[in-house]
Copies of this chain bind each other. A is one copy, B any other.
């Protein structure tokens, strides 16, 4: 059931940024692609910054227009199917959080995590992950942001309802420079290598993660090979678990 509902196709294309030719996953069917302006792709759409209920009250339940988030900024944004879902979600956030200084050192103004959840749930999850200082969490409580970008998917069979794909993007002054959209949620044991990492715009120098076992190093070698070939490879194909995949992807991102 879950497999059937998740059958959507992705394709690879390469983009040139900063003189480097790089691999990026894109979707033929998305309403946005590399080159799109994320602000005009979702006109009149706002996101809701994570906050406690009391902060919500004192903020008069305000939302944040996309222009305030993206205009004149370099932003890494990643979305996932839900707060409190999956090992991969839990791994995904820390892999950004733990490397936030390296993102900042490379000129990234903001790293944002977004999900089709209300801002109080997002806040509860961010607090649990001890990630609020490093990452800005936003809710998309009615899904209007993800609907505008054609990034929604029906996850009712996983007791979630309409949520978003797992995706990540690098956005400069509103323009999408890199867009990765996962074909199959990692919770279903297949995780695309292109997701989670922002490898393309942060360079491609390889560095091993400290503490990897020999087997993991061998998996990582295969992983690098796949990137060299600009292949879109599922973690399952490489024998990787989704959390290993996420950790390796972010290792590439920051190297």
Residues of A within 8 A of B (CB): 2, 48, 53-54, 56-57, 61, 63, 82-87, 89, 117-121, 123-125, 128, 139, 141-142, 156-161, 187
Contact = CB atoms under 8 A, between A and B. Distances in A.
A43 to B, nearest CB: 19
Contacts of A128: 124, 128
A53 B87 contact: yes
Contacts of A121: 82-84, 117, 121, 124
A57 B85 CA distance: 10
B120 A63 contact: no
Contacts of A48: 159
Contacts of A117: 121
A89 B57 CA distance: 14
Contact of A142 (B2, B54, B89, B156): B156
A115 B19 CA distance: 52
Nearest to A120: B84
A53 B124 contact: no
Contacts of A86: 53
Contact of A124 (B61, B124, B187): B124
Contact of A160 (B63, B125, B141): B141
Contacts of A84: 53, 118, 120-121, 123-124
Contacts of A83: 120-121, 124
B57 A187 contact: yes
